[in-house]
Amino acid sequence: MAITAAQVKQLREVTGAGMMDCKKALTQTNGDMDAAIEFLRKKGQAKAEKKASRIAAEGICLIAQNDDSKAAVVEVNSETDFVAQNEKFRTYVAKVAQQALNSAAEDIDAFMAESWIDDAAKTVKDSLVDMIAVISEKLSIRRFKRIEEKEGCVVTYLHGHGRIGVIVDAKTEVVNDDVKAALTNVAMQIAAMNPKYISQADIPDDYKEHEKEILLAQAIEENNKLPENKRKPQNIIEKMLIGRLNKEFKEICLLDQVYVRAEDGKQTVGQYLDQVGKANGTKITIKEFVRFETGEGIEKRQDNFAEEVMAQAAAAK
């Protein structure tokens, strides 16, 4: 019988086995899903069986770097924080980061299909399945980012043993200890303050309009709650709106943020970089930054302990 892509996808999600292995298993079993799972188990390719339905929202981000010119950050998720601190798991994630550093892949699917750094006979996906068998939890290589700079340098910062990983890409004619230290400070700023953009010029127009609509609606609602004799005219509200927008945009743009280590409490990141650049006879330009935070955007499962106990008690009857 003809095996559909949907069947292969379903079997992959359940077992964690490779695409071609799943197709072969389904072909051998005439599309019988349970029999295909059993086939893969017998072949040792379904070590991740029944873990695919679990939520992997813990884990770590790790970074691999090649001198000052290239770096890569990866996020690999696990189900529990306990596993995230496991030395075998951390060693594996470090290898995934090294794989990403030397990878030519442009997306996660291509990355997972690449030959594994430790065994060319396996893919990255195969290595993940093997690690799931060792760890006995659902694991997921969620994302990676590789940056290479030929006109300056890249610096990295890892926070909280891998909770947050940051790469900063800068153009500069001078690459010395002072410049790299300053960029490391900027990486720490990014980890702490989580900017969304480098400067206001990078903010999309649709985002600006969206925020303007929200803040205008808030301002009008606040104004309408005031006694009539204290309400502000529309033109005043719009002027106030400009101030609020500028304040918000400064908070989400790296160069406009107040530098967290500023001695006067006022110096912006942009001013700090100008200061360091001037002292070292160069101009430091941030071209790009990457910030990965473990579990960011993943909805974590909320277990109800009382319900769990009751369910176990009912099952025991």
pLDDT, tens only, 133-173: 888 888 999 999 999 999 999 999 999 899 999 999 999 99
**Sheet containing strand 164-171, strands side by side:** 152-159, 164-171, 285-293
State which residues form the domain around 118: 54-148
Indicate whether 140 belongs to any domain.
yes
Indicate whether 200 belongs to any domain.
no
The domain boundary residue, chosen from 126, 148, 170: 148
With residue 316 as reference, give the H or E element that holds it.
helix 305-316
pLDDT value of position 72: 98
Under 8 Å between Cβ of 166 and 159: yes
The answer to whether residues 89 and 144 belong to one domain is yes
| 170 closest CA partner among 288, 60, 249, 306 | 288
Tokens 């068998």 sit on residue? 133
Under 8 Å between Cβ of 126 and 21: no
| Per-residue tokens: 252 | 């989400």
pLDDT value of position 311: 53
Packing angle of the helix pair 234-252, 205-224 (nearest 10 deg)? 130
Cα–Cα distance for residue pair 30/129, rounded to 1 Å = 24
What DSSP line would sit under 72-84, residue for residue? EEEEEEES-HHHH
Helical H segments across 147-233, by residue range: 177-193, 205-224
pLDDT value of position 56: 62
Indicate whether 47 belongs to any domain.
no
Bridge partners (DSSP) of residue 66 are 70
The answer to whether residues 70 and 143 belong to one domain is yes
CATH of the domain at 13: 1.10.8.10
The domain boundary residue, chosen from 117, 148, 179: 148
Tokens 């301002």 sit on residue? 219
Cα–Cα distance for residue pair 126/115, rounded to 1 Å = 9
CATH of the domain at 91: 3.30.479.20
pLDDT value of position 213: 85
Cα–Cα distance for residue pair 63/210, rounded to 1 Å = 35
pLDDT value of position 43: 65
pLDDT, tens only, 266-312: 999 999 999 999 999 999 999 999 999 998 877 665 444 455 445 54
| 148 closest CA partner among 74, 215, 65 | 65
**What is this structure's pTM?**
0.74
pLDDT value of position 22: 87
Cα–Cα distance for residue pair 67/200, rounded to 1 Å = 31
Packing angle of the helix pair 124-135, 87-101 (nearest 10 deg)? 170
Indicate whether 14 belongs to any domain.
yes
Q: Which residues of the chain have pLDDT under 50?
A: 47-50, 52-53, 302-305, 308-309, 312, 317
pLDDT value of position 59: 93
Number of domains in the chain: 2
Cα–Cα distance for residue pair 313/317, rounded to 1 Å = 7
- Non-local (6+) Cβ contacts of 116 within 8 A are 99, 122, 123, 124, 126, 127
pLDDT value of position 114: 97
